[in-house]
Amino acid sequence: MLHHDIRRFLDALDDLNPAQIEDAQTKIRDLRQKSEAILEIEARTKQEHKCPFCGDKRRQKWGRTRTKIQRYRCGGCQKTYSGRTGSAIGRIYRPDLFMVALRDMLGASAPQSVRKLARELKLNKYTIWRWRMIVFSIVGSSSVAASFSGIIEADETYQRESRKGSCEWVRHFADPQNIPKPPRPRWEDFTTQGLKMMRGLSRWQLPILTVADRGGARLFRRLPDRKGVTVERAMKPLVPGDAVLCSDGGNGYRSLAAAYGLEHFVVGSKPGTRVAAGCYHIQNVNSLHARYGKFIEPFCGPATKNLNGYIRWLEVRTAGVRPADAIRAS
Ligand SMILES: [Zn+2]
């Protein structure tokens, strides 16, 4: 648009009535979302600057794609590509809205539910859900290998196993003669019978190892079981030989410390025993557990098959990864 056209356009805004102002605002917001998404995706190609098909760096500008993103033609193989080609978001129809969803997932405030976000973006909730799974696959593969040093705190938190969406109870009720009752209790069993059922429930609780040091490195990792040897095996590559370990008295931590001659401070879980001495405590991992609980709570017990995705999602949020960097890593 020419300079004086823009002037005229802006002047015309003065004559809008309240309803029209509302419309204009929505329109501008949509346009901004779109242009920001395009800038983020284009930043990705600028950075890489090579053909996703043959790796050739020679290229020329070749118009724009349907979504207005710069397209290039490779000087080597003559194929055309854009910043989205070959990435996890390459086949998404509305990259602009995907970026909104991604920002919602990684932003500073708590993420919205799939349903709410779908309503806001006027999309089907399954689309949002699919996008969320795509983000899980992106952040899951770009593992930020945390490296720990100094005083290292470790502990486990637990997530109840969930076969949400699996239909195993539905199948049982449809044909109780032939399809046995699933072995694990249902959600309602936990709430109505509460404590009575606590015994033996631990096998439905999936352990998540959390590790933190005083330099800000953080890690959440799902463990296959609660055995000491499992904890020890998971911890081994994380803890350098000169580190100081703070943990509860679990066998895994004890034998890790013994095997590597680590200085080890055992911290109790009861009030008054939580600090071994001065700065030897596990308050950072405890606050990670609180953060995990708060983060996971709105999802009402995510299906176990997606739990790793949720854990990585929290880890990426905790590390403060910028949305654009998350897709650039893909
Ligand atoms: Zn090429």
CATH code of the domain covering residue 207: 3.30.420
324 assigned to some structural domain? no
Cα-based angle 142, 319, 86 (whole degrees, multiple of 5): 25
Residues 167 and 289 in one domain: yes
270 assigned to some structural domain? yes
Among residues 9, 42, 4, 39, the alpha carbon closest in space to that of 27 is found at 9
pLDDT digit string (tens) for 6-40? Answer: 888 888 888 899 999 999 998 888 888 778 777 77
Phi, psi of 197, rounded to the nearest 5 degrees? -95, 0
Residue 241 CA: distances (Å) to CA of 149, 229, 237: 9, 18, 10
Task: Quote the ligand 1 centre to 49 CA distance (angstroms).
Answer: 11
Among residues 137, 45, 35, 26, the alpha carbon closest in space to that of 95 is found at 35
**The one-letter amino acid at 28:** I
For residues 127-152, give the mean pLDDT: 80
Q: Which domain holds residue 38?
A: 21-86
165 assigned to some structural domain? yes
Q: Point out the least confidently predicted range of 41-50, 186-195, 298-307.
A: 186-195
Among residues 140, 32, 31, 138, the alpha carbon closest in space to that of 90 is found at 138
Task: Quote the ligand 1 centre to 102 CA distance (angstroms).
Answer: 29
List CB-based neighbours of ion ligand 1 within 5 Å: 51, 53-54, 56, 74, 76-77
Residues 156 and 294 in one domain: yes
What spatial distance separates the first Cα and last Cα of the chain, rounded to whole Å? 35
Is residue 226 within 8 A of residue 132, CB to CB? The reply is no
For residues 236-254, give the mean pLDDT: 90
Task: Quote the ligand 1 centre to 57 CA distance (angstroms).
Answer: 8
Residues in the chain: 330
**The predicted structure's pLDDT at residue 196:** 46
Task: Quote the ligand 1 centre to 43 CA distance (angstroms).
Answer: 19
Number of structural domains (the chain) is 2
Task: Quote the ligand 1 centre to 85 CA distance (angstroms).
Answer: 12
Choosing from 62, 86, 110, the residue where a domain stops is 86
Task: Quote the ligand 1 centre to 324 CA distance (angstroms).
Answer: 24
Residues 80 and 165 in one domain: no
The shares of helix, strand and coil residues in the chain, as percent rounded to the nearest 5, are 50, 15, 35
Q: Is the dihedral of CA 245, 246, 252, 257 positive or negative?
A: positive
Residues 188 and 58 in one domain: no
Task: Quote the ligand 1 centre to 50 CA distance (angstroms).
Answer: 8
Residues 76 and 171 in one domain: no
Task: Quote the ligand 1 centre to 55 CA distance (angstroms).
Answer: 6
The DSSP line for 75-104 is TTT--EE-TTTTSTTTT-S-HHHHHHHHHH
Is residue 263 within 8 A of residue 254, CB to CB? The reply is no
Q: Point out the least confidently predicted range of 157-171, 183-197, 201-215, 307-321.
A: 183-197
Instruction: Please determine, for residue 194, whether its predicted confidence score (pLDDT) is greater than 60.
Output: no
